Chain A
Amino acid sequence: MTLLWGLGMNKSRRQFFMTIGVLAVIAALLPLELGEFYVHVVAIGFFYVMLAVSWNLLAGYAGQLSLAHHAFAAVGGYGSALLLQYGSEALKIDIPLWICIPFGAFVAGLVGYGLGSVCLNMRRIYLAVTTWAFAESFRLWVISEYEITRGDLGLSTELIFDTSDPTPFYYVFLAGTIFCLWVVFEIIRSPAGFYLRALRDDEEAAQAMGVDTVRWKRFAFTVSSAMAGFAGTLQAHYIGLLTPTPIKFNEMAIILIMVIAGGLRSFWGPALGAMFIQVVSEALRDYSEYRMVLFAVMVIIIMRVYREGLFGMLRDGMAKLPSLSASGST
């Protein structure tokens, strides 16, 4: 499959690797300065970055407004944890985590493929409602099948590292985030990226231009779900406990807010939005649920005033800097 290459866009690829390299070095040095709590906060921030960039691939680039992304993270987490528990029992061997984690992502991708196939002819509100219904059904299944999932009591699972220090986990999340950003970058710079954007702008026209819209819709669902599942497995083997609570719609609302706040359809926007909301959310923890009200107001303001989000503001602000300094020097 000729997907993962650039359209002669070596320059943008070089820029991407330079940017990601600089950001990775800064992120790698952060734990030296931050306390354990904020190392944990940023590690969870990376979890949301993975969810935000993968949802942006599906909703922002391909125009498929799925409201089940949080559920796919849970599918990945439960997939990995259940394989670890029941697979190991059945096979009478200790299945290592390096098999369970990709397995969780694979299961999430498979379920994403299935859901994408069911939703092929659905658009906008119908797609949103159907995917939300899937997420709710999955949550109810987790609760009701407590003999397998332990329901609301929670399913304990093995940690990636046998330590309570969040720092090694932080680096795993950082590596996972870099991987997800790279995958999304390569997709949107390849012909697949063109097809997904064409599909978003006008599905009928895309078909008439030779784009196999069925195939690419499934592709978007599968890849974004697998990435959400991957993030979910890392989260599961970091926290060590899986419960149905993160499958509530609140979690999806947070992902939505992060992407819109950062800048839907931009490459870096969702990543920026996810980290910003996560850090601000922790800083405002004392205000409990009022945080969500604040974020909702912020989304309304962004949608009214600046649809390109925080990243758009930042980019336009930086673009104005040379002209400001030039005018200041005259």
Chain B
Amino acid sequence: MPILQVDNLSKQFDGLVAVNDLSFSIESGEIRGLIGPNGCGKTTTMNMLAGLYRPTHGDVRYHGKSILKLPTHTRTAQGIMRTFQIPKLFSEMTVGENMMVPALATSTVKTPEFIEKLEHKSSEKLTFCKLDHVSHLLAKQLSGGQRMLLQIARGLMVEGLELFLMDEPFAGINQVTKETIMDAILEMNKDHGITFLIVSHEMPSVRRLCQTVSVMHEGSMISEGSIEEIANNPLVIEAYLGGQNAAS
């Protein structure tokens, strides 16, 4: 059974169809890429999966059960976490406090002993994401790359994390940070079996990380397969380069 099953998902904003009859599934333990030209509906899809947008039509099933009616925070508590293209941090809280928010919110136990364990876990994850030296700083004091890393580190604090939805995790950050993020993704996938759905424009990163890539265009899924397969798909070439360029 796939960990995530999306069936005929659509989202309409007044007259604009952002996502149109989208269907795909992701197997547990997979690192899936989701690519497509700007405005093709990738972020809208992520928002529907995370529960921030309510679909106009269709269903989203997680471990075989529909999660359509679940609010965002409940989905997070069930192990679905998302990051944002422009990092959304708690800017007036320290890095360490940012880490504690999802940990506390998704844990049922809240004894002082358990909190100490969470604080220890937070230190580990910050070290893992190379942020341990800035744990005392306010989130608003971090650089762009550090902000993205904190989003990811914070996501790892979710109790029982299974599905990590990442929206453009490599956008506007330097190569060293990109490498750190990619290493973290591969390690989390290998060691903890976390499934990833990664929206990205960075093809080298997608090539390195994702076994399967799904391509969206104008709200619909136009291709799915390995990076080589989709690179040779005329529909994908047309979507990226336009009809005339593709023909020439």
**Chain A residues in the interface with B (C-beta under 8 A):** 2, 5-8, 191, 194-195, 197-198, 200-202, 204-214, 265
B91: A residues at CB distance < 8 A: 201-202
A-B residue pairs, 7 tightest by C-beta:
A210-B105, A205-B88, A210-B76, A201-B90, A209-B102, A207-B72, A191-B104
B71: A residues at CB distance < 8 A: 207, 212, 214
**Chain B residues in the interface with A (C-beta under 8 A):** 50-52, 71-73, 76-77, 81-82, 84, 88-93, 97, 100-102, 104-106, 110-112, 115-116, 119, 154, 158
Partner of B50, one of A206, A208, A211, A212: A208
Name, among A195, A198, A211, A213, the residue most crowded by chain B CB atoms within 10 Å (CB to CB): A198
B97 touches A204 (CB 8 A): no
A213 touches B115 (CB 8 A): no
How far is it, in angstroms, between the C-alpha of A2 and the C-alpha of B116 when the chains are bound? 16
Q: A7-B115, A204-B52 are in contact. Are A209 and B89 (CB under 8 A)?
A: no
A-B contact pairs, 5 of them (CB 8 A): A2-B110, A5-B112, A8-B116, A198-B101, A208-B76
A200: B residues at CB distance < 8 A: 92
Count how many pairs of residues, one from A and one from B, have CB atoms less than 8 Å apart in the complex: 86
- A192 CB to nearest B CB, Å: 9
B112: A residues at CB distance < 8 A: 5-8
A208 touches B119 (CB 8 A): no
| Nearest opposing residue in chain A for B83, CB measure | A208
How far is it, in angstroms, between the C-alpha of A205 and the C-alpha of B82 when the chains are bound? 9
15 extra A-B contacts, CB within 8 A, seeds A8-B119, A207-B73, A210-B105? A2-B110, A2-B111, A194-B101, A195-B101, A198-B93, A205-B90, A207-B52, A207-B72, A208-B76, A208-B82, A209-B76, A209-B101, A209-B105, A209-B154, A211-B73
B93 touches A210 (CB 8 A): no
Q: A7-B115, A198-B93 are in contact. Are A204 and B88 (CB under 8 A)?
A: yes
How far is it, in angstroms, between the C-alpha of A265 and the C-alpha of B93 when the chains are bound? 12
- A228 CB to nearest B CB, Å: 24
Q: A206-B101, A210-B76, A210-B77 are in contact. Are A197 and B90 (CB under 8 A)?
A: yes
